[in-house]
Chains A and B, each alone.
Chain A
Amino acid sequence: LAKTTQPISMDSYEGQEVNITCSHNNIATNDYITWYQQFPSQGPRFIIQGYKTKVTNEVASLFIPADRKSSTLSLPRVSLSDTAVYYCLVGDTPLSGSARQLTFGSGTQLTVLP
């Protein structure tokens, strides 16, 4: 499982676009990049997943450069309710063989200020 590195914390203001970058230098060919969001006292929530270039859904965009050694989660026009921990996961499927290392790391604490 590729090791990931994220900033421990970030602050932003309401209405701004937030970009959280995750480094994964030893990403493997079959690995996908997945981001989760977790609010206090709740389970993580799947946000977005991608393999290369750009993926967009109603919540966020995921930018992956050609070398795939990093990825950036982009949250447009954040609000106070986007304050949460964001986790970057990198790994392949199927589960067998890699599941033992299916960990979320410590994530990035995003704080949105008024």
Chain B
Amino acid sequence: GENVEQHPSTLSVQEGDSAVIKCTYSDSASNYFPWYKQELGKRPQLIIDIRSNVGEKKDQRIAVTLNKTAKHFSLHITETQPEDSAVYFCAFNQAGTALIFGKGTTLSVSS
């Protein structure tokens, strides 16, 4: 079946540093790539998404880039803050199919 590899599995940064999480997917027909944030004991929440007709998208301190040729996409968080500490999941799908999620990256931001 379709799958996505997500790296790194854990990431520790100092407050104010940048964090980058990368995902590689298998299905070249995929055209939707969201990122979810899950705090401990909470539900996953959509933080940003990108579609295949766009190479980069920004929303304040977070950005996502997509390279369809290489079949990978990345989440960039700048000026990290302690409240960014959470598990981040990438996902992908194509129209009419369910999202497939990566295994997650645990981000720890220390002050």
Q: Do A and B come from one complex?
A: no
